[in-house]
Amino acid sequence: MKDGSSIHQRVLHYTHKGTDVLYCDFHISSDGYDNVQVEESRQQYGSNLLTGRAKDTVLHRLCRAFINPFTIILFFLAIISFVTDVLLTSNLGRDMTTALLILGMLLLSGIVRFIQEMRSKRVADHLASLLHSSVTVRRDGRWTQISSSELVVGDTVRLCAGDRVPADIRLTTTSDLFVSQSVISGESAILEKGTEILSVGKPQSYGEYRNIVFMGSAVIGGSGEGIVLAVGQDTVYGGFSGAESNRTNRFDQGANSIAWVLIRFMAVLIPVVFIACGLTKGNWFSAFLFALSVAVGLTPEMLPMVVNACLAKGSAAMGKKQTVVKNINAMQGFGSMDILCVDKTGTLTGDEILLEYYMDILGNESGRVLDFAYLNSLYHTGVANHLDTAILKCQTMPKQESHFTQLAVRYSKLDELPFDYERKFVSILVKSGHENLLIVKGNIDEVCARCRYIEYKGKRSRMETDGFSNVHAVVDEMLEDGMKVLAVAYKPMDRDRLSAQDEQDLILLGYLAFFDAPKKTAMDAIQKLKHLHVGIKVLTGDQRDVAVSICRRLGIDSEQVLTGRELDALTDNELPMRMETTTVFAELSPKQKVTIIQTLQANGHTVGFLGDGMNDLPAIVESDVGISVDTAADAVKESADVVLLKKDLNVLEEGILEGRKAFSNMSKYIRITASSNFGNILSIVIASVFLPFFPMTSVQLLLLNLLYDTLCLVLPWDNVDEDACSRPLEWSGRTLGRFMQSFGPISSIFDMLTFVFLFFIFCPLVCGGSYSSLAGTDAQARFIAVFHTGWFLESMWTQVLILHLLRTKKIPLFQSRPSVPVLVVTTLGILCFTVLTFTPIGQLIGLTALPAVYFGFLIIAVFLYLLLMTLVKRWYVKKYHELL
């Protein structure tokens, strides 16, 4: 019963059936499900987890740690080695050392990554437990709060404004329930839901399922109860989210870009190595094996671990700064973000809005305007907002408690049309005795456009043709002072239900003026973000004058302002340019906020969005880094990548810095390791043409690469220069090839110098003759071992020390100090790798102890190498104005 067609039929079936059939078929009592029924339903219909979350198991992470292209290559090499060295060799010549060593490297690499994966999983699970949305469900005769992941088919659920629908639900009772299904349908329209049985026939769109609310929808207003029909991946949203999760995000795009740079280098170098070794050595099978080891040697095997460690460390650091990073990939977004879009209310201004004035149409204080506004706010069941909260506080005014209590008793609610971003106002129908009144409160222009009359001191008259100019003559000064102004209108009615057609021919009664003071910390935070080269753009639904006034007080450039209507009037050619030059966007709908973000992204920006209202939900989802606060609605928090426990831009500044630190350390590993490996491979290509033997065995090359990469695991804990965090960083492979080509060949120069010294001077001196003169003797094998060891040490020393040189644009150790872990680990690494050549383990892989005189040469060569690399680094920074 879990195939797609049967699930769809189940949902469709119950849209045409009464709720009594639903209760009977799923054996639901008035007490809801008990624990036994919950478990039975979970076994039959599955759990409320989407694919990505359900697959995030220990087994899945174990497979991911050990199964990837690089481990497959290693495993393939081990099999070939086993076949050639054991199965196809006589008993006396059998040697499993190479195969066991490769398998040991594979096992070690997988274990290290698995440990990191499990550490990351524990952090992710902990964050999920903190932030997972809860749902009110009836179990064992009482209403209780549980995690939405625990829902099962057949559960009885209660919904209210601000909730995100946790499953596909057949509604059983509703009270002015309005939802947004934009996450599913892409439409921003607000839909009213009910319990009425649908007529027979298949609905043509999701909007026609009037008695069904789908998982992922947001409850905009009202309340309701219903029975769960489908959960997890079986829901409509589950199918959408599976497709969406496969969509490549900015982090994946950058990672793929880096991977393709490495693949292109492989595609060129590996065939060259194979052909060169095959032609010069005559052993094509050995050449093939060596070419495979080059493939592994060119690629940073520990890249996933280092990246994950950097991101996890950054998110852990943010956790200590009142910020919860739900998606650790968002740390990369923080590092590369160059534009931050913010909603005005609560971000640039305080969370508490004060009702300053309630006035008639001429600006005089009016208790009647306040009374009608109070009734509208009292009976509004939409998502809670600061304006309604400010209005309702009037009941605490001295000597007014009884007045507003009696007002609520005298007027009872009949119906409601909640706020939406097309109409921009709320309509409430109330009843007092035999009189029904429609009370409207909302945007001045939208409300006044529907008014035919005005009322002043109880006298009603027709609105003049220039009524709008009269309205703005009263409110414009308040708007320019940064106040938020709403209009209040009403109309007597003789019906008990509302429709959109009733919101015409209204009587304008007066205005409400609110003051939302700028935050004291906002100006300082904005300046800090400017110093970090993060542009601030304000995206708000408020009136233009209010937005401009607040931005002017905070030092935000408000010369270029666009309203929603002006935005819609722009052509496709004008839109990208205006997005770059405009800082303040006012009177926007949620759909227009998304348009702005998409255009900025198309212009090449990495965009973050900070908001907490339901109107911000589409923009948060669309942005590269969606940021919300812990007081936001569940739907908003669940969609955000980052949740701030304190709504303060200063916290974001710290997040950006942490993101850039993580980003910088990731770049260090990728660029330094890739260029170093490229230099080694280039040296091998050249040496393979001229040397009568391989300059290093495949096992030695793989071991060198693995040991070096293991040392690099400490890089996430490295210090980062302050100037490296001063600008957004680009996560891509665009400049990786340039870096590899600039610095890789420098190491090849000194590799060639080492080859010449070893082959023509040192090895003949140690072994008693040139390579050709020692043919057929054990001394020739000794010659090869000394050569391999000499280059192994030179390559290892230069690779490790170049970490210190290229980790900073400054002079290493003096102007820029590495962290203690990096300094200790790299020092111990050089010592341990050097000592390895004197041990039996080194002998097993073909290394041998070298005389002290070689280390004199090695120190001189490494010093000259670092000196030349310093000069090249200065040239590179001067030409490209960046290093990492």
Could you give all domains of the chain from N- to C-terminal order, each with its CATH number?
252-301+665-880 (1.20.1110.10), 323-349+519-645 (3.40.50.1000), 354-515 (3.40.1110.10)
What separation, in Å, do the N-terminal and C-terminal C-alpha atoms of the chain show?
Answer: 54
- d(CA 771, CA 779) in angstroms, rounded, equals 9
Confidence of residue 77 (pLDDT cuts 50, 70, 90): low
Contact 635, 614 (CB under 8 A): yes
Contact 524, 556 (CB under 8 A): no
In 301-366, alpha helices (H): 303-319, 330-336
Amino acid at 515: F
Q: What is the mean pLDDT of residues 754-779?
A: 88
Which range of 504-508, 534-538, 611-615, 637-641 scores highest in mean pLDDT? It is 504-508
Q: How far is CA 437 from CA 420, 460, 491, 492, 576, in A?
A: 21, 16, 6, 5, 47
Minimum mean pLDDT range among 134-143, 178-187, 582-591, 758-767: 178-187
Residue 607 Cα to chain centre, angstroms? 11
Whether pLDDT at 526 is above 70: yes
- d(CA 310, CA 729) in angstroms, rounded, equals 15
Task: Give me the active site residues, please.
Answer: 343
pLDDT of residue 486: 94
Contact 665, 720 (CB under 8 A): yes
Whether pLDDT at 306 is above 90: no
Minimum mean pLDDT range among 162-166, 505-509, 610-614, 755-759: 610-614
Q: What is the mean pLDDT of residues 22-47?
A: 90
pLDDT of residue 371: 94
What are the E-state strand segments in 239-308?
Answer: none
pLDDT of residue 69: 53
Higher pLDDT, 589 or 25: 25
Confidence of residue 504 (pLDDT cuts 50, 70, 90): very high
Q: In the chain, how many H helices and how many E strands? A: 33, 23
Contact 77, 104 (CB under 8 A): no
Higher pLDDT, 312 or 678: 678
pLDDT of residue 631: 66
- d(CA 771, CA 350) in angstroms, rounded, equals 81
Q: What is the mean pLDDT of residues 803-821?
A: 86
Using DSSP bridges, classify how beta strands 168-180 and 134-139 pair: parallel, antiparallel or unpaired: unpaired
Contact 537, 585 (CB under 8 A): yes
Q: Please, what is the average pLDDT of the chain? A: 80
Query: Which tokens go with 57?
Result: 């198991």
Q: What is the mean pLDDT of residues 442-470?
A: 88
Q: What is the mean pLDDT of residues 792-808?
A: 89
- d(CA 748, CA 604) in angstroms, rounded, equals 36
Contact 197, 211 (CB under 8 A): yes
Minimum mean pLDDT range among 422-431, 584-593, 674-683: 674-683
Whether pLDDT at 217 is above 60: yes
Taking only the tens place, the pLDDT of each residue in 787-798 is 999 999 998 899
Residues 6+ apart with CB under 8 A from 457: 360
pLDDT of residue 692: 83
pLDDT of residue 239: 54
Whether pLDDT at 35 is above 60: yes
Whether pLDDT at 701 is above 60: yes
Query: Which tokens go with 654?
Result: 């710290």
Minimum mean pLDDT range among 193-197, 410-414, 879-883: 879-883
Q: How far is CA 120 from CA 6, 287, 288, 312, 672, in A?
A: 37, 40, 38, 7, 25
Whether pLDDT at 249 is above 70: no
pTM of the predicted model, to two decimals? Answer: 0.67
Confidence of residue 858 (pLDDT cuts 50, 70, 90): very high
pLDDT of residue 6: 55
Question: Which residues face 213 on adjacent strands?
Answer: 169
Compute the C-alpha angle 727/733/734, nearest 5°: 75
Q: What is the mean pLDDT of residues 365-379?
A: 93
Which range of 230-239, 442-451, 801-810 scores highest in mean pLDDT? It is 442-451
Whether pLDDT at 169 is above 70: yes
pLDDT of residue 1: 38
Whether pLDDT at 17 is above 50: yes
Compute the C-alpha angle 745/750/756, nearest 5°: 125
Whether pLDDT at 329 is above 70: no
Percentage of the chain beyond pLDDT 70 is: 81
pLDDT of residue 253: 65
DSSP 567-607: HHH--TTHHHHHHHH--EEES--HHHHHHHHHHHHHTT--E
pLDDT of residue 447: 93
Confidence of residue 127 (pLDDT cuts 50, 70, 90): very low
pLDDT of residue 579: 92
The secondary structure of residue 608, as a DSSP letter, is E
Q: What is the mean pLDDT of residues 615-644?
A: 77
The tokens 């892989």 sit on which residue? 845
Confidence of residue 637 (pLDDT cuts 50, 70, 90): confident
pLDDT of residue 131: 47
